[in-house]
């Protein structure tokens, strides 16, 4: 029986490149990870032989790379030689074989994540500073105004509420009628 390539999915992360060979009930699994090449072979329960050979886009640390077999696939974790460098493709050649696809379920654009995360933390810290340094929210403590706080079953009464309960709620589902501000009757 002739060998055929296994359907293969790949995705990139800052430290590792992941390859998943989709072969159910595999036997005789052989994975050879070299610095610039990966060779995979196995058989499935029907005796069909699978063989994939990939010349990798960049160098990997073969000694710190592993494979893991499950009932449905064989996953290879290959440690990048140069970490935090994105791989635009898995193959050295700028050709995409029909059996090779990007694993979009696991793909994540991680480049620049640190800057985005840092900016979000700074923005959150500024927001917290504005919220915690100010007095009570507008409309609280004024005579003749009712609270707009939501009344959900099981939530504490206003005198029992936590520090975070002072945020301005949105009107809509989940608010009781008495929470609405009083309005003058139409004339």
Q: Which residues pair with 30 in a beta bridge?
A: 41
Residue 139's region, left for phi above 0, alpha for psi from -120 to 50, else beta, is left
Does residue 46 fall inside a structural domain?
yes
Q: Which residues pair with 122 in a beta bridge?
A: none
pLDDT tens readout for residues 94-103: 999 999 999 9
Residue 106's region, left for phi above 0, alpha for psi from -120 to 50, else beta, is alpha
- Rounded to 5, what percent of the chain is helix, strand, coil? 15, 30, 55
Structure tokens at 32: 């050879």
pLDDT tens readout for residues 35-60: 999 999 999 999 999 999 999 999 99
Given pLDDT bands bounded at 50, 70 and 90, which one contains residue 177?
very low
Range of the domain at 16: 7-102
Does residue 117 fall inside a structural domain?
no
Q: Is the pTM of this model over 0.75?
A: no
CATH of the domain at 95: 2.60.40.790
- Structurally, the chain folds into a number of domains equal to 1
Q: What is the mean pLDDT of residues 137-163?
A: 52
161/123 Cα distance (integer angstroms): 26
pLDDT given at position 145? 54
Does residue 89 fall inside a structural domain?
yes
Q: Which run of H or E residues covers position 187?
A: none
């Amino acid at each position: 029986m002739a060998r055929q390539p296994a359907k293969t999915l790949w995705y990139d992360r800052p430290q590792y490149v992941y390859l998943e060979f989709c072969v159910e009930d595999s036997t005789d699994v052989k994975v050879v990870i070299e610095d610039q090449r990966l060779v995979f072979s196995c058989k499935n329960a029907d005796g069909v032989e699978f063989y994939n050979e990939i010349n990798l886009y960049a160098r990997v640390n073969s000694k710190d790379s592993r494979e893991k077999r499950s009932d449905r696939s064989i996953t290879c974790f290959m440690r990048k030689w140069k970490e935090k460098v994105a791989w635009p493709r898995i193959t050295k050649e700028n050709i995409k074989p029909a059996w090779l696809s990007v694993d979009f379920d696991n793909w994540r654009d991680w480049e620049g994540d640190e800057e985005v995360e840092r900016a979000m933390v700074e923005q959150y810290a500024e927001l917290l500073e504005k919220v915690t340094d100010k007095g009570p929210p507008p409309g609280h403590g004024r005579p003749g105004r009712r609270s707009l706080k939501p009344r959900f079953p099981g939530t504490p009464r206003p005198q029992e509420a936590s520090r975070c309960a002072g945020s301005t709620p949105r009107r809509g589902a989940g608010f009781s009628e008495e929470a609405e501000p009083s309005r003058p009757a139409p004339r």
